[in-house]
A and B are shown apart, each in its own frame.
Chain A
């Protein structure tokens, strides 16, 4: 799965930061896209379009396997709205616990610039 990143503070030259995976406080869902059968140019194009819809430019993206999400005790809910969209769900309400889970995701994510 791919998490598109639109903030320069959510990654460095060598890693994805946990911040990139944290959910917004009003929904507790992290938006991702299923890209397992897509090449890098295709992923970049999809991320650019997603960003444009939100008025932001794509800075990078993070790929994380579904098993990493499950290992962290979270779940994935595909909804295909828009196409290929899914959400990482099951986040706890406690902020410190959220950060801990985001760290686990980031530690096993792959960054693409």
Chain B
């Protein structure tokens, strides 16, 4: 199934991408990003709910006060960081739910049931703010997105999915 989503003015990593292919290292998912004029088109060979959800979220949160309480819009730079974060997630990681926060950050959430959740938000500088609940246990911290998802987040994901 091919899904095409156009988002004017957005690019990956803050740079214009003319053509970029991501190989089978991400499993059967393959993406091809094309820049045509002012429009970035994302083509996915297989339905990728997280990427589609990011597009939907960015669209909904593109204007000020999108939440009715004065929320800041999600910027193009934040979208680029969010796409980069999804791009770095291995295909073995379950796809997160995507949303936006009132401060304009994009959020990625893995929910395993009541009291078991990991939330990671990203801002336009690539700062990752995360928090996790494992029943009564909790952890939270700050990391930065470089060329790999920080190990602390992988540890939290492993713990989240460790108990079925």
Contact = CB atoms under 8 A, between A and B. Distances in A.
B141 to A, nearest CB: 6
A100 B56 CA distance: 25
Contacts of B97: 12, 17
A95 B106 CA distance: 12
- On chain B, which size bracket covers the interface? 35 or more
Contacts, number: 100
Contacts of B121: 95, 99
- On chain A, which size bracket covers the interface? 20 to 34
Interface stretch (B7-15, B16-24, B43-51, B128-136): B128-136
Contact of B60 (A7, A12, A50, A54): A7
Contacts of A2: none
Interface string B95-127: 001111111110101010011010101000000
Nearest to A8: B60
Interface in A1-55: 4, 6-10, 12, 15, 17-19, 22-27, 31, 50-51, 54-55
B155 to A, nearest CB: 15
Contacts of B142: 94-96
A36 to B, nearest CB: 22
B99 A9 contact: yes
A113 interface: no
A104 interface: yes
Interface stretch (B29-37, B61-69, B76-84, B85-93): B61-69
B138 interface: yes
Nearest to B71: A24
Given A94-B129, A100-B140, A107-B133, 20 more contacts: A7-B99, A8-B60, A9-B56, A9-B61, A9-B100, A17-B97, A18-B109, A19-B102, A24-B102, A24-B103, A25-B102, A50-B68, A51-B68, A95-B142, A98-B129, A99-B119, A103-B117, A103-B119, A103-B131, A103-B138
